[in-house]
């Protein structure tokens, strides 16, 4: 259940984000990656007639993203990045957030930017949370899959798709009924496993004790996290979503999508995590959105043209409502002299670049939030297609205080795929 | 002299004697006494200051003020260690250090670096397999200088984490029944073989694919709809030996993922595909019955798109029985715990272990009921130490005079089993362990001899050694630039995806070729290096082909045009003949409309004409798009054989069919000239001559290469109009050449192949320069210029030294550590066994696996750093 927890969490302050916000000395940051599958056609987001970079102030957002109209001053639409090196046709899978070659069945060849940021940002109890949205059948039969995030080469990070399990993980200690019982049973089992593991380490030679100790420490971390979550249960109660019928008896897949989003938002607001990755379609080329009136599902959605397509308008509108909800919720929490949203960056894009069978020559992105004043907002930026998505990730790392010129791209690759170095000047303040 | 004075004099004499003896003898592994001032400074002063003091400071290195090892100068000391150990320094033209002094100084640096860096990330460089060659080859296989005193060898007591591949193969045993070995079709995947990676090179555990009889949609839909879980144990994916015991542990993220997947596995063990489906009707031998209730709409890519047959093929275990019954009994639970514990740890639980896990399961059932409690509780066993780490602790035996204890019973049996296999010991080995017949060297010899001669016992670990040693299995993971790949001739407008799949196919093909050579077990290394055979898949006509020069390409285009036109005409004539026959029939029908035979013939003729036109149109389309004019194809003919591939995971991939063919004459020689190896040693745009040269230097010649200094900007200039050789001029700068001279001249001979592994006579429209040179090999007979890779390989394959270096690598793989001088006798015996038995890998392995290095563990070692 507790995928993605880093061993380092054990030494972290309980809620560094909140404590820092309270002291108002430094501003914590948080980041959300929202990847819709099947491609993000720029025509579904760029205001009509807008051919070159400029302010969005007087522009009207297209129908698919009109839910973001009230948040236009926080929005930055970027067109003209590329990902030709990521093999994004159908999906770049891990390559979308890694900025390296990915494809179906290809294991990650390095860490992905969400994981890297989780190591950079101030530590939280759960440094990185991934949620994945799919058809109900897929989410039930495969409640965890790993397609988008990785902590290193050959080290995929799983995303959660069953909100019941995720709720148990985050709020098992304050839950009731079945979730509570399962939480207690699992807690007890984990305690016992740790004890057994520790006993078997007692007789090891000195050199091996340290290595095996890391294994035992892993259980200590897991159990410690649970305990610490338990200790701050009164704090968590303020943020934990209400468990309604949609958890146990979803009518549509979107019932679970909504609840997964609620859990993700609650994890951000409560300070449990500072990095949230949302995979709508879970990085693959299927997915289902019957709950918003899209009867068709799966691969054919990607074969359709997206602009002016009622189906894709509905899906993008649903995405946009989710984005708007994220902004609203984060705006509702005071932080420093502003709100949580002031220190947040939401990156919306597709793991499939601009369309399903793309070569990745264009990789449109929308940013929401200025990340504590680091990113320009309220504008549209047209780039020349010569800088890779890696440059966007470099920009975020720079804005997070990491002095890097490239992310997951060697100089040799850059000679071929990047016309510049360092962050993208056009998008940073 | 009074008695007291005499006694003192004797004591002093004796003490002096001890000092003299200690100074003259060197025992590998024994800590070197003395601090910086007393020991190391003198060595530096005598051997280094000439060039590296404040006045000379050659290479900007001043050792005058270096001082004792500390955190800030550790990098410099590490560099000194490498240079002195590899006998790079002092330079050959200077007076040389006595061997014993060099060994002692090298050991001192390592000990000091370990001490100083203990709480600062540690110092493990000397334990890295890439540094195995830092032990001088001549000291291992030649005579030792006077004063070197070896002690009987042993490996350290340790725990050894299972590899991702072992782990997945172990778990696969729980849910899939793999076919038994079929002597009529060797090469096909069978029980005990490693679980192959899928079409994209990902290691995954697949559920229920052996029962799928129908699915909706195409290839991608299938790949998404089937249930699979990726391996969760991390692994260093890089060149060289991947699996020393001290490399890995299991972190909390991996542990929680294992637990999650354990529940999935247990549910499948209990219920089979019923645990995967959305509707019970999906399990049927007549898919039409499912169609009656199947949800409407597009369900492709979802679990409800799959239909499974009703034949139970998974192993039926006590978990199945437990969940089939009503309620639970202690006896059934105990039986289940015992079964599962042995299935994942390969040994029966002790009474205490069984009781502990039984209690966990019972507690879980008490809290959440049988259904969830059984699966939750049993999943704990997947996290038992011995399910993830294999212990070699030798805790129960009595140490000999050297502090060594021989492994025995389960530890010895499982160590031997692990040397060859990824699954549980076969019944005979298990019986030997249980009945106390795994306690002596002869016991091991008996079992290893039996296992090596029994093909039913699969030996994936032997194959893994060759993968680790040759590094031929990385080609599919080398990201290729699409344009560079297209210009190599390997692909024709289909994009690089097909290339990656071809590379994974090539890995399977090379696996099979190695197995064929191992079957003969004669001059194994030489055969691997010089075989004229290759295992071919359909695309290998191209990959083993020759890249055409521009002139040849022009000729090929012209020839293709003529061939196409000839075929067009032939087909047109056939259509014309059919049309004529049709006209005649039409005339007959017109003349005699009531004749049924005429009318019937006319209908048939019309159908034939339509079908023929369609067939020819398709053929024409294929001709226009097909044919690779960039390449002269290699001839693929020979006996039909099989290679080990995954079950269907995507599209029409994973086909086991292969041909045992012969390489085009004068173009290839052994594995190092096969595309699988060449592409594994290439980069996105070009060949990787440095990596190839390094491979030859380290894996065949036994040479060592120091780490690249952090100040080096290892970039070749981007000059598309220059050859790689020309661009590599930058490595000839003095600062770089010290190391690059060991690699580049050994890697450039492979320039007769391009970066997709195709043979080429020209590069950038000029004849290819593939000249190189073997230098400082340690065997003067080998040294000298070579015209190309073929000449170089031929020389190397005949070398005894190369054989010995191969044996050193086999030692490292199977012992899980670098060799020390104390292992010299073991290495010599292994090489002798190999050589005396006509290059037999079996004999080499038997020798290694019955050696002290394999059988004995050093126990009760105190921390040398505390001394």
My answer on whether B298 and B335 are in the same domain is yes
Are B703 and B697 in contact by the 8 Å Cβ rule? The answer is yes
Contact flag A208-B260 (C-beta cutoff 8 Å): no
My answer on whether B555 and B541 are in the same domain is no
My answer on whether B288 and B377 are in the same domain is yes
Strands A338-339 and A30-36, sheet pairing: unpaired
Distance (Å, whole) CA A26 – CA A153? 33
Contact flag B383-A193 (C-beta cutoff 8 Å): yes
Are B683 and B755 in contact by the 8 Å Cβ rule? The answer is yes
Tally the C-alpha atoms within 13 A of residue A214's C-alpha that lie toward its C-beta.
17
Out of B437, B462, B487, a domain closes at: B462
Residue A261: name the closest of A114, A124, A127, A131 by CA: A131
Structure confidence at residue B861 (pLDDT): 56
Question: What are B229-267's pLDDT values in tens digits?
Answer: 888 887 765 788 888 888 888 888 788 889 889 999 999
Instruction: List the domain boundaries for chain A.
Output: 31-124+286-300+376-400+414-429
**How far, rounded to the nearest angstrom, does the alpha carbon of residue B741 sit from its chain's CA centroid?**
28
> Which of A3, A104, A221, A406 would you mutate first to test chain B, the one with the most B CBs within 10 A?
A104
**How far, rounded to the nearest angstrom, does the alpha carbon of residue B153 sit from its chain's CA centroid?**
28
What are the helix (H) ranges across B669-780?
Answer: 675-680, 689-695, 724-727, 734-740, 744-747
Contacts of A300 in chain B (CB under 8 A): 298
Contacts of A6 in chain B (CB under 8 A): 252-253
Contact flag B479-A85 (C-beta cutoff 8 Å): yes
Range of the domain at B593: 549-629
Tell me the two tokens of residue B102.
């060099």
What is each CA distance from B547 to B483, B557, B632, B669, B681, in whole angstroms? Answer: 16, 14, 6, 17, 19
Distance (Å, whole) CA B391 – CA A211? 13
Residue A344 distance to chain B (closest CA, Å): 26
My answer on whether B167 and B182 are in the same domain is yes
ipTM of the prediction: 0.82
Write b or e for each residue in A384-403: b if 16 or more Cβ atoms lie within 10 A of its Cβ, otherwise e: eeebbbbbbbbbbbbbbeee
Contact flag A214-B251 (C-beta cutoff 8 Å): yes
Contact flag B298-A297 (C-beta cutoff 8 Å): yes
* Residues found in chain B: 867
Contact flag B260-A416 (C-beta cutoff 8 Å): no
The residue ranges of chain A whose pLDDT is under 50 are 1-25
Instruction: At B456, give phi and psi (nearest 5°).
Output: -65, -30
What would you measure as the largest C-alpha separation in chain A, in angstroms? 73
Residue B699: name the closest of B771, B787, B786, B777 by CA: B777
Contacts of B684 in chain A (CB under 8 A): 412-413, 416
Share of chain B above pLDDT 70, in %: 95
Calculated CA dihedral for residues A22, A27, A28, A34, nearest 10 degrees: 120
Contacts of A103 in chain B (CB under 8 A): 200, 497, 500
Rounded to the nearest 10 degrees, the angle between the axes of helix B800-815 and helix B460-470 is: 120
Using CA coordinates, name the residue in chain A closest to B234: A155
Are B529 and B795 in contact by the 8 Å Cβ rule? The answer is no
**How far, rounded to the nearest angstrom, does the alpha carbon of residue A44 sit from its chain's CA centroid?**
22
Distance (Å, whole) CA B375 – CA B71? 50
Distance (Å, whole) CA B53 – CA B60? 10
My answer on whether B359 and B416 are in the same domain is no
Give domain status of residue B583, yes or no: yes
Tell me the two tokens of residue B141.
């296989």
Burial of B658 (0-12, 13-18, 19+ CB in 10 A): buried
Give domain status of residue B804, yes or no: no
Using CA coordinates, name the residue in chain B closest to A286: B301
Calculated CA dihedral for residues A406, A424, A101, B237, nearest 10 degrees: 20
Contacts of B393 in chain A (CB under 8 A): 203-205
Are B545 and B759 in contact by the 8 Å Cβ rule? The answer is yes
Q: Structure pTM?
A: 0.85
From the list A141, A219, A298, the residue facing B303 with the nearest CB is A141
Q: Would you list the DSSP string of A10-62?
A: GGS-S-HHHHHHHHTSS---EEEEEEETT---GGGTSPTT--SSEESTT----
Residue B690 sits at the chain A interface (C-beta within 8 Å): no
Contact flag A151-B253 (C-beta cutoff 8 Å): yes
Distance (Å, whole) CA B814 – CA B392? 13
Contact flag A298-B298 (C-beta cutoff 8 Å): yes
Contact flag B383-A217 (C-beta cutoff 8 Å): no
Tell me the two tokens of residue B545.
């082909």
End-to-end CA distance of chain A, in Å?
40
Contact flag A3-B257 (C-beta cutoff 8 Å): yes
Contacts of A193 in chain B (CB under 8 A): 360, 380, 383
Give domain status of residue B833, yes or no: no
What 3-state DSSP class applies to A140? helix
Strands B212-215 and B533-536, sheet pairing: unpaired
Q: Would you list the DSSP string of A62-85?
A: -GGGGGGGGGGGGEEEEEEEE-GG
Residues contacting A227, CB < 8 A, separation 6+: none
From the list B297, B500, B863, the residue facing A297 with the nearest CB is B297
Element (H, E) at B2: none
Question: What are B314-331's pLDDT values in tens digits?
Answer: 999 999 999 999 999 999
Residues contacting B563, CB < 8 A, separation 6+: none
Tell me the two tokens of residue B84.
């002195």
Residue A335 distance to chain B (closest CA, Å): 31
> Which of A93, A208, A418 would you mutate first to test chain B, the one with the most B CBs within 10 A?
A208
My answer on whether B234 and B335 are in the same domain is yes
My answer on whether B712 and B782 are in the same domain is yes
Structure confidence at residue B11 (pLDDT): 39
Element (H, E) at B546: strand B546-547
DSSP designation for B703: -
Contact flag A2-B395 (C-beta cutoff 8 Å): no
Would you say the C-alpha torsion B502, A408, A32, B203 has a positive or negative sign?
positive
What would you measure as the largest C-alpha separation in chain B, in angstroms? 149
Residue B119 sits at the chain A interface (C-beta within 8 Å): no
Contacts of B481 in chain A (CB under 8 A): 416
My answer on whether B245 and B379 are in the same domain is yes
Using CA coordinates, name the residue in chain A closest to B254: A3
Tell me the two tokens of residue A336.
């420093």
- CB-CB neighbours of B589 under 10 Å: 17
Contacts of B500 in chain A (CB under 8 A): 103, 106
The CA-based angle A247-A253-A256, given to 5 degrees, is 30
Are A379 and A56 in contact by the 8 Å Cβ rule? The answer is yes
Q: Looking at chain A from residue 233 to 272, which residues have their Cβ under 8 Å from any Cβ of chain B?
A: none
Contacts of A106 in chain B (CB under 8 A): 200-202, 500
The residue ranges of chain B whose pLDDT is under 70 are 1-23, 236-237, 493-494, 625-626, 651-653, 709-714, 860-867
Distance (Å, whole) CA B340 – CA B358? 11
Residue A119 sits at the chain B interface (C-beta within 8 Å): no
Tell me the two tokens of residue A158.
């799983």
Distance (Å, whole) CA B473 – CA B456? 25
What 3-state DSSP class applies to B483? helix
Residue A82 sits at the chain B interface (C-beta within 8 Å): no
Tell me the two tokens of residue A201.
């380490």
Give domain status of residue B811, yes or no: no
Residue A368 distance to chain B (closest CA, Å): 30
Write b or e for each residue in B853-863: b if 16 or more Cβ atoms lie within 10 A of its Cβ, otherwise e: bbbbbbbeeee
End-to-end CA distance of chain B, in Å?
39
What 3-state DSSP class applies to B440? coil
Strands B546-547 and B533-536, sheet pairing: unpaired
Residue B657: name the closest of B644, B638, B674 by CA: B644
Contact flag A152-B221 (C-beta cutoff 8 Å): no
Contact flag A152-B234 (C-beta cutoff 8 Å): yes
Q: Would you list the DSSP string of A299-334?
A: THHHHS--TT-HHHHHHHHHHHHHHHHHHHHHHTSE
My answer on whether B541 and B554 are in the same domain is no
Contact flag B303-A4 (C-beta cutoff 8 Å): no
Give domain status of residue B109, yes or no: yes
Are B163 and B235 in contact by the 8 Å Cβ rule? The answer is yes
Residue A157 sits at the chain B interface (C-beta within 8 Å): yes
Element (H, E) at B307: strand B306-308
> Which of B157, B217, B297, B301 would you mutate first to test chain A, the one with the most A CBs within 10 A?
B301
Residue B140 sits at the chain A interface (C-beta within 8 Å): no
Write b or e for each residue in B388-404: b if 16 or more Cβ atoms lie within 10 A of its Cβ, otherwise e: bbbbbbbeebebeeeeb
DSSP designation for B126: G
Q: Looking at chain B from residue 396 to 455, which residues have their Cβ under 8 Å from any Cβ of chain A?
A: none
Residue B497 sits at the chain A interface (C-beta within 8 Å): yes
Structure confidence at residue B713 (pLDDT): 61
Give domain status of residue B482, yes or no: yes
Structure confidence at residue B91 (pLDDT): 86
Contact flag B230-A300 (C-beta cutoff 8 Å): no
My answer on whether B647 and B579 are in the same domain is no
Q: How many domains does chain B have?
A: 6
């Amino acid at each position: 259940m507790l995928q993605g927890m880093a061993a380092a969490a054990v030494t972290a302050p309980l809620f560094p984000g909140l404590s820092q916000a309270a002291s108002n000395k430094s501003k914590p940051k948080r980041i959300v990656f929202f990847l819709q599958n099947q491609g993000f056609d720029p025509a579904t987001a760029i205001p009509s007639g807008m051919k070159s970079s400029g302010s969005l102030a007087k522009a009207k957002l297209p129908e698919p993203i009109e839910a973001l109209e009230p948040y236009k001053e926080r929005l930055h639409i970027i067109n003209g990045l590329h990902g030709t090196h990521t093999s994004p046709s159908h999906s770049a899978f891990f390559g979308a957030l890694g900025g390296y070659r990915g494809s179906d069945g290809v294991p990650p060849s390095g860490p992905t930017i969400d994981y890297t940021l989780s190591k950079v940002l101030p530590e939280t109890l759960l440094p990185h949370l991934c949620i994945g949205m799919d058809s109900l059948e897929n989410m039930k039969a495969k409640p965890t899959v790993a397609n988008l995030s990785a902590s290193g080469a050959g080290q995929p990070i799983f995303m959660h798709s069953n909100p019941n399990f995720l709720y148990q993980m985050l709020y098992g200690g304050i839950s009731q009924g079945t979730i509570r019982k399962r939480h207690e049973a699992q807690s007890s089992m984990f305690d016992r496993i740790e004890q057994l593991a520790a006993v078997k380490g007692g007789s090891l030679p000195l050199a091996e004790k340290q290595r095996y100790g890391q294994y035992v420490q892993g259980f200590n971390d897991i159990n410690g996290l649970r305990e610490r979550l338990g200790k701050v249960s009164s704090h968590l109660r303020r943020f934990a979503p209400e468990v309604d019928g949609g958890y146990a008896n979803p009518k549509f897949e979107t019932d679970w999508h909504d609840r997964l989003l609620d859990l993700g938002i609650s994890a951000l607001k409560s300070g449990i995590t500072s990095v949230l990755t949302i995979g709508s379609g879970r990085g693959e080329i299927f997915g289902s959105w019957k709950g918003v009136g899209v009867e068709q599902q799966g691969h054919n959605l990607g074969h359709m043209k997206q602009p002016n397509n009622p189906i894709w308008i509905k899906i993008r509108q649903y995405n946009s409502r989710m984005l708007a909800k994220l902004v609203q919720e984060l705006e509702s929490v005071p932080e420093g002299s502003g709100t949580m949203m002031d220190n947040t960056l939401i990156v919306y894009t597709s793991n499939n670049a601009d369309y399903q069978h793309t070569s990745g020559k264009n990789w449109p992105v929308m940013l929401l939030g200025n990340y504590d004043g680091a990113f320009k907002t309220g504008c549209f930026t047209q780039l020349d297609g010569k800088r890779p998505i890696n440059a966007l990730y470099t920009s975020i790392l720079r804005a997070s205080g990491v002095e890097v010129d490239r992310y997951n791209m060697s100089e040799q690759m850059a000679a071929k795929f990047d016309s510049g170095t360092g962050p993208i000047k056009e998008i940073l303040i | 002299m009074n008695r007291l004075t005499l006694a003192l004099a004797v004591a002093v004499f004796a003490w002096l004697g001890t000092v003299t003896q200690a100074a003259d003898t060197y025992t590998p592994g024994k800590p070197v006494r003395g601090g910086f001032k007393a020991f190391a400074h003198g060595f530096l002063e005598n051997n280094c200051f000439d060039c590296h003091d404040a006045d000379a400071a050659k290479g900007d290195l001043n050792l005058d003020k270096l001082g004792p090892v500390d955190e800030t100068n550790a990098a410099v000391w590490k560099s000194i260690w490498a240079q002195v150990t590899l006998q790079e320094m002092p330079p050959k033209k200077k007076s040389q250090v006595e061997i014993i002094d060099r060994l002692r100084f090298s050991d001192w640096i390592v000990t000091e670096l370990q001490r100083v860096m203990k709480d600062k990330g540690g110092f493990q460089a000397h334990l890295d397999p890439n540094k195995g060659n830092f032990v001088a080859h001549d000291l291992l296989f030649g005579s030792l200088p006077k004063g070197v005193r070896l002690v009987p060898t042993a490996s350290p007591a340790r725990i050894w984490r299972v590899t991702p591949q072992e782990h997945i193969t172990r778990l696969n045993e729980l849910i899939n029944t793999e076919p038994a070995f079929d002597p009529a079709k060797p090469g096909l995947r069978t029980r005990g073989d490693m679980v192959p990676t899928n079409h994209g090179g990902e290691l995954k555990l697949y559920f229920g694919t052996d029962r799928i009889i129908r699915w909706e949609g195409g290839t991608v839909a299938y790949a998404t709809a089937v249930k699979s879980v990726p391996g969760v144990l991390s692994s260093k994916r890089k060149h060289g030996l991947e699996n020393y015991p001290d490399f890995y542990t299991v972190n909390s993220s991996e542990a929680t993922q294992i637990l999650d997947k354990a529940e999935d596995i247990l549910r499948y063990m209990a219920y089979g595909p019923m645990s995967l489906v959305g509707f019970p009707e999906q399990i049927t031998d007549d898919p039409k019955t499912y169609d009656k209730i199947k949800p409407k709409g597009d369900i492709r890519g979802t679990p409800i798109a799959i239909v499974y047959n009703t034949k139970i093929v998974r192993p039926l275990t006590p978990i199945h029985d437990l969940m089939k019954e009503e309620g639970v009994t202690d006896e059934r639970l105990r039986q289940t715990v015992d079964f599962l514990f042995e299935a994942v740890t390969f040994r029966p639980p002790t009474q205490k272990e069984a009781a502990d896990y039984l209690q966990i399961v019972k507690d879980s059932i008490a809290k959440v009921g049988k259904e969830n409690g059984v699966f939750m509780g049993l999943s704990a066993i997947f996290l038992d130490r011995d399910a993830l780490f294999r212990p070699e602790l030798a805790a129960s035996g009595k140490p000999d005079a050297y502090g060594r204890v021989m492994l025995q019973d389960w530890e010895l049996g499982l160590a031997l089993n692990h040397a060859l296999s990824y699954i549980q010991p076969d019944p005979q080995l298990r019986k030997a362990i249980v009945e106390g017949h795994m306690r002596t060297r002869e016991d091991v010899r008996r079992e290893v001899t039996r296992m090596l001669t029994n093909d039913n016992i699969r030996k994936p670990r032997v194959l893994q050694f060759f993968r680790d040693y040759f590094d031929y299995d990385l080609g599919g993971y080398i990201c290729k630039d699409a344009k560079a790949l297209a210009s190599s001739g390997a692909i024709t407008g289909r994009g690089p995806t097909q290339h990656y799949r071809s590379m994974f196919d090539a890995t399977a093909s090379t696996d099979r070729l190695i197995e064929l050579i191992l079957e003969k077990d004669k001059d194994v290394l030489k055969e691997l290096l010089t075989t004229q055979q290759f295992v071919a898949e359909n695309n290998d006509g191209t990959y083993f082909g020759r890249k055409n020069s521009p002139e040849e390409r022009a000729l090929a285009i012209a020839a293709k045009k003529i061939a196409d036109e000839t075929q067009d005409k032939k087909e047109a004539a056939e259509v014309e003949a059919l049309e004529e026959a049709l006209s005649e029939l039409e005339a007959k029908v017109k003349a005699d409309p009531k004749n049924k035979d005429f009318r019937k013939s006319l209908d048939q003729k019309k159908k034939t004409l339509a079908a023929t036109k369609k067939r020819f149109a398709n053929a024409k389309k294929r001709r226009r798009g097909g044919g690779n004019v960039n390449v002269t194809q290699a001839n693929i003919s020979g006996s039909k054989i099989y290679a080990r591939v995954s079950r269907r995971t995507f599209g029409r991939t994973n086909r086991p069919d292969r041909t045992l063919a012969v390489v085009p004459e004068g173009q290839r020689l052994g594995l190092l000239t096969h595309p699988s190896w060449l592409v594994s040693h290439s980069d996105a745009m070009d060949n990787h001559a440095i990596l190839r040269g390094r491979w030859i230097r380290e894996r065949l010649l036994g040479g060592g290469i120091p780490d690249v200094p952090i100040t080096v900007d290892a970039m070749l200039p981007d000059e598309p109009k220059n050859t790689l050789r020309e661009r590599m001029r930058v490595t000839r700068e003095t600062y770089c050449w010290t190391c690059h001279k060991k690699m580049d001249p050994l890697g450039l001979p492979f320039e007769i192949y391009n970066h997709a592994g195709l043979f080429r006579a020209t590069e950038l429209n000029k004849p290819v320069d593939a000249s190189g040179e073997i230098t400082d090999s340690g065997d003067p007979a080998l040294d000298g210029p070579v015209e190309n890779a073929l000449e170089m390989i031929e020389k190397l394959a005949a070398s005894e030294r190369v054989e010995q270096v191969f044996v050193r690598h086999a030692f490292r793989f199977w012992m899980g550590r670098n060799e020390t001088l104390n292992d010299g006798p073991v290495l010599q015996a292994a090489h002798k066994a190999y050589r005396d038995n006509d290059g037999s890998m079996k004999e080499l392995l038997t020798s290694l696996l019955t050696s002290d290095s394999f059988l004995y563990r050093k126990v009760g070692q105190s921390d040398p750093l505390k001394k």
